[in-house]
Amino acid sequence: MKVLVIGKGGREHALVWKIARSPRVERIWVAPGSPGIAGLAECLDIRVDTSLSQPEKLAHEIARLRDWALAEGIDLTVVGPEDCLAAGLADVFRAAGLRVFGPSAAAARLESDKAFAKDLMARIGVPTAAHRTFADSGAALAYLQQTGAPIVVKATGLAAGKGAIVAHTLAAAEQAVRQILDEKAFGAAGAQVVIEEFMTGEEASLFCVTDGECIATLVTAQDHKAAYDGDQGPNTGGMGAYAPAPVMTPELIRQAEETIVKPVLREMQRLGTPFQGVLYCGLMVNAAGPRVVEFNCRFGDPEAQVVLPLLATDFVDLALAACDGGLGQMAVRNASGAAACVVMASGGYPGTYETGKPIRGLDALNGRPQVVAFHAGTARRDGELVTAGGRVLGITAFDADIKAAVWQAYDAVMQVSFDGAHFRRDIAHRALARHGA
């Protein structure tokens, strides 16, 4: 088989790493890829993400990639990032007869339009936080005076994982509303805000591969969004993750499938926009059970870096079954053990940071089969590997249990360096506390 993967970050590196292990796969291309991915696949100089600020330019590049895939005879396309899904890449590819793992633009609204997702959940009774949606800052600020804080303010559109602001004071909530609606901090993604109840509990990530009707549930994970230890500091795209998440017991997983995943998929079918691909459910878990924080229409990053290493079933088989409607005949197998990913970020991230810093020590990880350095933001300049983003590397390890996986991951992190490197030192602290470690 010939496989095309779309994207360039740590999530896409993890996808390529997993796909390359399939005996069905003969050749892999990635658009645009990264230096880390280049060791496993051929990189194409085609970008189909929102770095192309003009919609017509993005549409042109999607069509260009479609034409290339047709000419090359690509058997399966796996889409990593959400922005090109929201722009309709899957629709364009399917219309050309290409098999693509990822939802249509209409189905991707579960992520690209938070107001749509919240209204859908309210309509069919899916457990989530109470909410209101506003396009006018005056009305939103008046509502905040009624509710008080803590409260959550979200840009309704795609904001690279940074559009949700947890406000612990009324002043912070008002500032978030003004930043999003008046100052346009997130551009078009902030045309509206969703203001929702602050939920307490422990967060977890549930990933279900689906053909629109049947589901295959993967191992659960837990992300670490805050920049600093102890879950302090500004929100980021994710500073690390681990799997499985012990807060999600087998009973809670079944509960989430029955009260969240299956009803949402049925409603998407009823709307004429069936969801095919991987549905990410960000959950808040407390004594009342799991409630939805958000949906994503693709794998999380860095959760993919810990979920995929623990998938025992051939991922390509799962993706093909999702595309062709055959998931009902498959039984997904997750491996035993645990995985942990520590993100090494540029100093200053998620604020202002410098790039172009030489990366040292990755060669020291060669020969360690249970450790992988997934490239999130790297580049080659004058033959040297350098930093090229806020999140630079996701150092991932898998072992018999979470304590061993975390130890391996941090041992590997200490072998790698670049100027200003920042990483959290408490990844998986909740799981370790449960195990008394």
Write down the pTM of the prediction. Answer: 0.94
Q: What is the pLDDT of residue 51?
A: 59
130-197 is a CATH 3.30.160.250 domain = no
Select from 80, 82, 75, 79 the least CA-distant residue to 98.
75
2-104 is a CATH 3.30.70.1350 domain = no
CB 216, CB 318: distance < 8 Å: yes
Number of H helices, E strands in the chain: 14, 22
pLDDT (average), residues 233-251: 95
Residue extent(s) of CATH 3.30.1490.20 domains in the chain: 130-197
Q: What is the pLDDT of residue 52?
A: 53
Residue extent(s) of CATH 3.40.50.20 domains in the chain: 2-104
Q: Answer yes or no: is pLDDT of 363 > 70.
A: yes
What homologous superfamily is domain 202-434 in, according to CATH?
Answer: ATP-grasp fold, B domain (3.30.470.20)
pLDDT (average), residues 194-210: 95
What does each C-alpha distance from 303 to 50, 156, 157, 219, 355 come to in angstroms?
Answer: 22, 22, 21, 10, 24
Least confident of 7-16, 57-66, 260-269: 57-66
pLDDT (average), residues 278-297: 95
Q: What is the pLDDT of residue 394?
A: 98
pLDDT tens by residue, 314-339:
999 999 999 999 898 888 999 999 99
Half-sphere exposure in the Cβ direction for 326 (13 Å, CA): 9
Q: What is the pLDDT of residue 329?
A: 86
pLDDT (average), residues 121-135: 94
Residue extent(s) of CATH 3.30.470.20 domains in the chain: 202-434
Which residues, in sequence order, are bridge partners of residue 29? 4, 42
**Residue 363: Cβ-neighbour burial (10 angstroms; 0-12, 13-18, 19+):** exposed
pLDDT tens by residue, 95-116:
999 999 999 999 999 999 999 9
CB 205, CB 222: distance < 8 Å: yes
The alpha carbon dihedral of 15, 17, 20, 22 has a sign of: negative
Please provide the DSSP assignment of 100-161 as one string: EES--TTTTHHHH-HHHHHHHHHHHT--B--EEEES-HHHHHHHHHHH-SSEEEEESS--TT
